[in-house]
Amino acid sequence: MMQLFYVTVNVCLTSNLCVTPLGLEGDVDLQFLLVGGKLMKVKSSSWKKERMYKLHDDNATIWHESHRIFKRKQTFSIDDVDSVRKGRQSEGLQKHTEAHVEDRCFSIFFKGRRRNLDLVATSVEEARQWVNGLEKIISNMKKLNRQQTSEHWIFNCMRKADKNKDNMMTLKELKHFLRQINIEVDETYAKLLFTKCDTSNSGTLEGSEIKHFYDLLTHREEIDVIYEKHAATGGQMSAQDLLNFLQNEQREVATLEDALRLIEKYELDDSAKHMNHMTKDGFLMYLQQEEGSIFNPAHKKVFQDMSQPINDYFISSSHNTYLMEDQLKGPSSTEAYIKALMKSCRCVELDCWDGAHGEPVIYHGHTLTSKVLFKDVIKAIKEYAFKTSEYPVILSLENHCTLEQQKLMAKHMISILGSALLTSPLEDQMPTAFPSPQELKGRFIIKGKRLNKLDAVFSNTSPGVEEDCVSEEDESAETSNSKTDTNGQKAKAKKSKIKLAKQLSDLVIYCKSVHFSGFEHAKDKQAFYEMSSFKESKAVNLAETAAKAFIHHNMTKLSRIYPAGSRTASSNYNPVPLWNAGCQIVALNFQTPSKEMDLNQGRFRSNGLSGYILKPEFQRYAGSEFNPMTLTKGPWIKHKAFHIMVISAQQLPKLNKDKPKSIVDPLVKVEIYGVPADTCSKETRSIENNGFNPMWNETFQFDIQVPELAMLRFLVEDYDATSQNDLIGHYCLPLTSLQNGYRHVPLLTKRGDVIPSAGLFVHLMLLDAK
């Protein structure tokens, strides 16, 4: 069962559940964590207290000492940990500890909004063991396949239900366990299940009886039906049977060698493997691996042409990147940049203002949001920019600084980013088009105002001005104009100005910010590197009323879209209509979980999480007549009939863990986002009191005209008759990245993290329409 990374649970319910990671048996770092030790917890300069920490014997939970009277939970799960960073890498440790303890410090960062844990070990060696041990466990947990995480989760729940730790399960403990895994059963059924497994009539389940109970619990009827239909060789699947399944059901271009490879990889029964057969267990194992995933494994790596000009790509982009929460009083943090960059965001925003002691700061101006040093943000960007993706990062500057602090900004970027900072065109002569993501690998591009034309770089005749006034763009211009202007004419007359230093101006190469004065003006007067930013309302209006012109504008220029200033809670707008209009930099508030961020995560899920997605050809070639609002005949029309059957779900999480008897009533929504003609939503019925193995077997059909711009989103909700449904999990991907046939769909939390044991099981057919 858990042979690849975790020891099989065997048939006993022991206190440690036998979940020691394979490869770590006897590991000194793991043994160190199990013993635990004292660590200094740092909250502020005045709050530094010693606390005991240790790894629980389930090898998946950290226990910690707490002196708070009402602190109920003194543990956190390894599943909830995003990363462990050695040294003073958190803002808290940098602020509240001295440099000489650097080698004894480490921080635990969590998924979601939970505050990170800043710790100081008693010695350098102990800090090393804590970090190494935690990283080994996290790495092992991430390597678990879907079946292994499922078993790990189920047996962890069993361990918790075994209240007296006697390795046996009473009827009362069984009922408690079933509620833990999100099943509500009546007294009669629970007793029947218990009696069926209690073959020794002892009144408790132990050993092989628990194994029997586990098998009954995890038995999946839908897999039986599929397997029996295709197992045509003595009740088992031969390699030829499996090939027939791959070709006819999964619609894959497969060979007999592919079938044999899957048997070798996933079949657990040696005698079946010897005959080149796949048993039902092996078949289920295959379905739960990436080969059986809805997401095409070939799209997990960069598979698109990365040699086109960067304006030919959708670029994952963040707005107000420095914010952790809302834009009125929320905290600003370097951590917000790290989180965005680690999600392969390739365009981040820096809202720069004069700071105390002559150092520029970043925050949301004229609000109560906290401030963070500009140079600290640049250091964090330098450190984390290319860990997820090696493709270029655009630094979008909102500059409100005086000349002196602007010069410091330029100095910091040059000294910290070094040769990675693009300070001149890649070409030896004046370029006429953008370079490609491939040519710009590992480089930083500055977006901002520039005092002169780019060809001044190649001219030695004029020294250029040292400083000058330029008009403000983006949010700053919107804010100042909204305060003083009553109509469009007055807005032009009172456009706010800011003095710009040459040192900062000279760093702007391919992304010079200019005011948008219409598509005709841009076509005749704007250089390719001169780009405009659009407030969402203006951009959406253009996308609806002048989509074709917008698309053609974006064939030679870059466009950045940003949320309206009225979105004080950092909410998001729908990015899809802007992508339909070919806009590349559609900036969203990454810190705000929302349907819109789900769509952004889905759009950039493929192409190796590079943060760059090549636009469809009909959004790139000059003769295109494509208009998403009024579809006409053309290469963009690839009419598809999309059939989808929502079969079942597995191990959906409890939403209210504080109420043991609270069980979800799940339903599934299937949504298509794309051009208006394709946008559609359908949903299943809800299933009462079963989040462990609900089954729907409901079929839907969608008519798709422009599949290259369409995205598929699954939404699993807890039905509530009296109030809004609660989100259980979601998943989104481009329609062009899905695999046909029987597929497992992973589910993500509200904030986009994988729910380890949960998933949907569906059948998909995306076929040419007749």
Q: Are 332 and 360 in contact (CB under 8 A)?
A: no
| Spatial distance between the Cα atoms of 607 and 737, rounded to a whole number of angstroms | 9
Task: Tell me how crowded residue 735 is: count the other CB atoms within 10 A of its CB.
Answer: 22
| Spatial distance between the Cα atoms of 466 and 595, rounded to a whole number of angstroms | 46
Tell whether 449 is in a known binding site.
yes
**What b/e sequence results for 452-471 when a residue is b if at least 16 CB atoms lie within 10 Å of its CB, and e otherwise?**
bebebeeeeeeeeeebeebe
Tell whether 567 is in a known binding site.
no
| Spatial distance between the Cα atoms of 262 and 239, rounded to a whole number of angstroms | 9
> If you write DSSP's letter for every residue of 63-111 in order, what string do you get?
EE----TT----EEEGGGEEEEEESS-SHHHHHHS-GGGGGGEEEEEES
| Spatial distance between the Cα atoms of 582 and 549, rounded to a whole number of angstroms | 10
The token duo for 526 is: 């704007």
Catalytic residue among 299, 319, 552, 763: 319
Identity at 716, one-letter amino acid code? V
| Spatial distance between the Cα atoms of 167 and 745, rounded to a whole number of angstroms | 34
**What b/e sequence results for 601-628 when a residue is b if at least 16 CB atoms lie within 10 Å of its CB, and e otherwise?**
bbbbbbbbbbbbbbbbebbbeeebebbb
Tell whether 351 is in a known binding site.
yes
Short-list 344, 339, 318, CA closest to 563: 318
Tell whether 719 is in a known binding site.
yes
Phi, psi (deg, nearest 5) at residue 106: -160, 160
| Residue 617, strand partner residues | none
Tell whether 720 is in a known binding site.
yes
| Spatial distance between the Cα atoms of 470 and 733, rounded to a whole number of angstroms | 42
The token duo for 361 is: 């700061």
Q: Report CA 56 to chain centroid distance, whole Å.
A: 29
Catalytic residue among 64, 152, 364, 412: 364
| Residue 100, strand partner residues | none
Which parts of 274-370 are beta strand (E)?
Answer: 277-278, 313-318, 347-353, 361-362
| Spatial distance between the Cα atoms of 473 and 490, rounded to a whole number of angstroms | 16
Tell whether 267 is in a known binding site.
no
364 in active site = yes
**DSSP designation for 456:** G
Short-list 537, 674, 535, 538, CA closest to 599: 674
Identity at 757, one-letter amino acid code? S
**DSSP designation for 311:** G
Tell whether 184 is in a known binding site.
no
Tell whether 685 is in a known binding site.
no
Tell whether 755 is in a known binding site.
no
552 in active site = no
Helix 208-218 / helix 187-197 crossing angle, nearest 10 deg: 130
At a CB cut-off of 8 Å and minimum separation 6, what does 296 contact? 606, 737, 738, 739
> If you write DSSP's letter for every residue of 538-581 in order, what string do you get?
HHHHHHHHSHHHHHHHTTTS-EEEE--TT-TT------HHHHHT
Q: Tokens 């010069």 — which residue?
A: 407
Tell whether 276 is in a known binding site.
no
At a CB cut-off of 8 Å and minimum separation 6, what does 176 contact? 161, 163, 660
| Spatial distance between the Cα atoms of 343 and 744, rounded to a whole number of angstroms | 23
Q: Could you tell me which residues are annotated as the binding site for substrate?
A: 447, 449, 533, 560
Which residues does the annotation mark as catalytic?
319, 364
Q: Could you tell me which residues are annotated as the binding site for Ca(2+)?
A: 320, 349, 351, 398, 663, 665, 689, 718-720
Q: Could you tell me which residues are annotated as the binding site?
A: 320, 349, 351, 398, 447, 449, 533, 560, 663, 665, 689, 718-720
